């Protein structure tokens, strides 16, 4: 990563315009050409320094449901349950965490009913309780990572 990569990462975490030639407008702000900006973003994606470039959709405002849930699993059964949970298409992220509540996953579903059905299926297929941790209120989402 050089100075230009850092400037692009720090300067482009939001506010990308919706217009005919958006890359050209942004490139001018960095003092580079449109082609250079596109090539740099492509390279940052290839090197996995960026995980995405584009619109971030707000699942709930699209009518979908995005929700956190947790499980408390004995270590010896953790792998089996992880396989069952990960195999479900509704599971977007799943993390192991160092706590008695040791599995935390995010479900992305298109309706609240599909969310409830998925949780029930996990309980039935694994034999363990799922603790539904929906957000009651969202105070903040977003972070500017400095490169």
Partner 1 sequence: MKSKPLIDDIDRRIILATQSGLPLEPQPYHAVAREAGISPEEVMTRMRRMLETGMIRRIGAVPNHYALGYKANGMTVWNVPDEQVDELGRRVGALEFVSHCYQRPRYLPEWPYNFFAMVHGHDRGEVEQQAQQIADLLGDADRGHEILYSTRILKKTGLRIGG
Applying the rule CB under 8 A, the residues between 24 and 53 that interact with partner 1 are: 24, 34, 38, 41-42, 44-45, 47-53
Q: Kindly state whether residue 66 participates in binding partner 1, applying the rule CB under 8 A.
A: yes
The nearest distance, CB 40 to partner 1, in angstroms, is 10
Task: State the maximum Cα–Cα separation within the chain, in Å, rounded to a whole number.
Answer: 59
Q: Kindly state whether residue 22 participates in binding partner 1, applying the rule CB under 8 A.
A: yes
The nearest distance, CB 124 to partner 1, in angstroms, is 20
Identify the residue among 28, 80, 117, 135 touching partner 1 (CB under 8 A).
135
Rounded to whole angstroms, the Cα distance separating 147 from 123 reads 41
For residue 26, what are the CA distances in angstroms to 17, 18, 38, 41, 114?
8, 11, 10, 12, 40
Identify the residue among 4, 7, 32, 59 touching partner 1 (CB under 8 A).
59
Residues 6+ apart with CB under 8 A from 132: 67, 69, 119
């Amino acid at each position: 990563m050089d100075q230009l990569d850092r400037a692009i990462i720090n300067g482009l975490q939001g506010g990308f315009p919706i217009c005919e030639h958006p890359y050209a407008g942004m490139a001018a702000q960095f003092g580079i050409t449109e082609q250079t900006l596109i090539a740099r973003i492509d390279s940052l994606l290839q090197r996995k320094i960026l995980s995405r470039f584009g619109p971030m959709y707000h699942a709930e405002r699209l009518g979908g449901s995005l929700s956190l849930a947790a499980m408390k699993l004995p270590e010896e059964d953790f792998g089996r349950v992880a396989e069952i949970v990960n195999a479900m298409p509704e599971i977007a992220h799943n993390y192991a965490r160092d706590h008695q509540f040791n599995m935390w996953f995010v479900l992305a579903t298109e309706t609240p009913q599909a969310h409830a059905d998925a949780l029930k299926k996990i309980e039935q297929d694994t034999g363990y309780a799922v603790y539904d941790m929906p957000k009651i209120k969202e105070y903040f989402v977003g972070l500017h990572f400095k490169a």
